[in-house]
């Protein structure tokens, strides 16, 4: 068992984050146990609670890292118009979910206590994802208010997320990655061509 003096608290914090993230990648949420983390980093359980308030605090930081990675990939999307941008952003979201399933699903599986409020730093990471869609929706209909753009972006992303959940968790053998992309393309065409962005 490692001694605390071998690492600073900041180093231990990073070790805990990386180890916890690896456990999630390897086995999903069921593997995210404080004793598993302690064993992986060679420190006591108490050392983990010196750098994180509780397991919910640790989980939020793991989810925050996932949101950062997702946002970074989505920000690299290149496109020529808003329609194409929406499609590429949606496909990027789905590709990330498909390639990082355990990390992605943890964002939604791990729930905060009912009386808890997400800290501002975490909400900002969530908002950064929405903002990428909001920007394109605003270009499609400049008359929309910022609040309406956000509401439409939330609805749009909820549709994309729903496709992800269905396609990635269903056991129906006839579904594959092409079905994911085709479903997204269909949703976007209906979203744009049926003038959903002009309903307000």
pTM of the full predicted structure? 0.87
Ranges in the chain, pLDDT < 50: 172-173
Same-domain pairing of 36 and 121? no
- Separation of alpha carbons 76 and 114, rounded Å: 35
Residue 84's domain comprises: 63-198
Same-domain pairing of 44 and 71? no
Same-domain pairing of 38 and 87? no
Q: Which residues contact 37 (CB under 8 A, 6 or more apart)?
A: 16, 19, 20, 23, 48
SS3 per residue for 35-71: HHHHHHHCCCHHHHHHHCCCHHHHHHHHHHHHHHHHH
Q: What angle do CA 120, 121, 127 make, to 5 degrees?
A: 80
In a domain, 57, yes or no: no
Rounded to whole angstroms, what are the CA distances from 50 to 9, 16, 22, 123?
Answer: 8, 11, 20, 24
Q: Which residues contact 181 (CB under 8 A, 6 or more apart)?
A: 91, 94
- Separation of alpha carbons 37 and 17, rounded Å: 9
pLDDT of residue 5: 61
What is the domain-level CATH number for residue 28? 1.10.10
Same-domain pairing of 47 and 92? no
pLDDT digits (tens, 9 = 90+) for 54-72: 999 999 999 999 999 999 9
């Amino acid at each position: 068992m490692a001694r605390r003096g071998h690492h600073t608290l900041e180093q231990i914090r990073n070790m805990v984050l990386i180890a916890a993230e690896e456990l999630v990648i390897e086995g999903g949420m069921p593997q995210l146990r404080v004793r598993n983390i302690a064993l992986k980093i060679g420190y006591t359980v108490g050392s983990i609670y010196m750098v994180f308030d509780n397991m919910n605090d640790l989980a939020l930081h793991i989810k925050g890292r996932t949101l950062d990675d997702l946002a970074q990939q989505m920000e690299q999307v290149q496109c020529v118009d808003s329609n194409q941008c929406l499609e590429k952003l949606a496909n990027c979201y789905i590709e990330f979910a498909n390639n990082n399933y355990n990390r992605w699903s943890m964002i939604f599986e791990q729930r905060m206590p009912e009386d808890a409020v997400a800290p501002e730093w975490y909400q900002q990471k969530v908002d950064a994802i929405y903002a990428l869609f909001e920007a394109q929706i605003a270009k499609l209909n400049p008359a929309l208010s910022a609040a309406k753009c956000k509401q439409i972006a939330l609805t749009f992303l909820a549709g994309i997320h729903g496709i992800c959940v269905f396609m990635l968790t269903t056991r129906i053998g006839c579904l594959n990655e092409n079905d994911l992309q085709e479903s997204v393309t269909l949703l976007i065409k209906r979203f744009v061509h049926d003038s959903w962005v002009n309903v307000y």
